[in-house]
Amino acid sequence: MPFTTPHQIEQHIARTMAFYHPRCIDPQAGFYHYLTDDGYLYNRHHRHLVSSAGYVIIYARSAMHTGAPEALKWARHGLKFIEDRHYQTLTQGFAWTLDHGKAEDTNHHCYGLAWVMLAYAMALKAGVSEARTGLDRVRALMDRRFFESHTQLYAAEADANWHLTGYRGQSVNQRSCEALIAAFDATGEAAFLDRALGIARTLWRRLAPMGDGWLWENYDRDWHIDFDYRRDRPDDLFRPWGFQIGHQTGWVRLLLRLHHHRPDEAWLLPTARRLFTEAVEKGWDDKYGGLICGADFNRLPLNRDKVYWVQAESLAAAAMLGDLTGEARYWRWYDKIANYCWQHMIDHEHGGWYRILTPDNRRYSREKSPAPKTDCHNLCACYDILPIMQRQHGEREAVSSL
């Protein structure tokens, strides 16, 4: 069975990192963002803020895991690129995309800032002490430009002059919640955790009832579900129409992390348990295996493609629930998802995970890691699963020695 022993997970982490390192490194300017299945670099000049932050995160996590100074060196290298190239002194924001070093998109995206905050937090926790300055700076920028105190949520987008657009989205708040939890873990400052918990409370206790217990993706300025927004684009990369299975299970992970820090919040664990069961049962493809990407309001399949991060988020959520509750049903789901990933999603020849597969598990193209994919989701899932398996393996060995 795959992903069941610490050794298997360690090997998989190493093999995935070996696909990227060192070929992803641009010695002059951060990291390359466009790799085919076999690692061929097919675009040297385009950069995406999510990928730039994602590479910092995977090198920071690698440094925490291995203790290797070289990994910290490349995390610093990535932060320098974000600060020198993505940061725009004229607007005092971070460019969403760059082409040949110049900003392409003049709008400001809070989702990108949340990834930058997460990158700073992970780098700080890994030992990059100077990352604290950047962490505080980007948090202040998000608060000043995007946080709306009357909702306790972040707006999603502003134009070039920092005027907010009318779009509101759950995914930017999900990523912000994750970044804030990571910032708390790195600094111990309760304000980060309090903000993360406030986001979770607002979304899951006030907004989720509008989706019958799940979170819809797209909302209007007043946080009413916008059923017309991108109705014809259920496969949109950042703002798809419908419920996203991976976002529901991704929230399971965040709710459990909040529960770890704030067990007095009695609603967190029951919500996570209910949400996981509902999402994987509605999202599982009984014919071809794997979790589909999207569902409509009635929880019927909408986007049947199989996307790497959906599987990774759900795999980690299953392990966390299984470990916390001791219930076999979560471990059955863990095995089911792990087997699917091992059979279809993982490239056993070259390393790394395929980005997207057809409903019947065929590759659409040879593009394994076009921006914004860096395998950050699946590597971080493995890093979160590893200590669980190490602990369980130790307990089994202790029992067998009696």
- Specify the DSSP class assigned to residue 47: E
Half-sphere exposure of 212 (CA within 13 A, CB side): 7
Q: 321 and 257 in contact (C-beta within 8 Å)?
A: no
**CA dist list (Å): 88 to 53, 56, 85, 216, 379:** 16, 19, 7, 32, 30
62: nearest Cα among 114, 14, 2, 19 = 14
Q: Is 247 a catalytic residue?
A: yes
**CA dist list (Å): 117 to 130, 164, 295:** 13, 20, 30
- Distance from C-alpha of 263 to C-alpha of 301, rounded to nearest angstrom: 34
Residue type present at position 295: A
Pair type for strands 153-154 and 168-169: unpaired
Cis peptide before 359 (omega within 30 of 0): no
Rg from Cα positions in the chain: 20
Q: Is 377 a catalytic residue?
A: yes
**CA dist list (Å): 321 to 102, 309, 318, 332:** 44, 18, 5, 11
Give the position of tokens 């007095």.
264
Specify the 3-state DSSP secondary structure of 291: strand
- Distance from C-alpha of 123 to C-alpha of 130, rounded to nearest angstrom: 9
Q: 123 and 168 in contact (C-beta within 8 Å)?
A: no
The single residue of 12, 33, 86, 247 carrying the catalytic annotation is 247
The answer for residues whose C-beta is within 8 angstroms of residue 398's C-beta and 6 or more apart is none
- Distance from C-alpha of 398 to C-alpha of 220, rounded to nearest angstrom: 55
The single residue of 12, 86, 109, 377 carrying the catalytic annotation is 377
The answer for residues whose C-beta is within 8 angstroms of residue 381's C-beta and 6 or more apart is 312, 313, 315, 316
Which residues have a catalytic role annotated? 247, 377
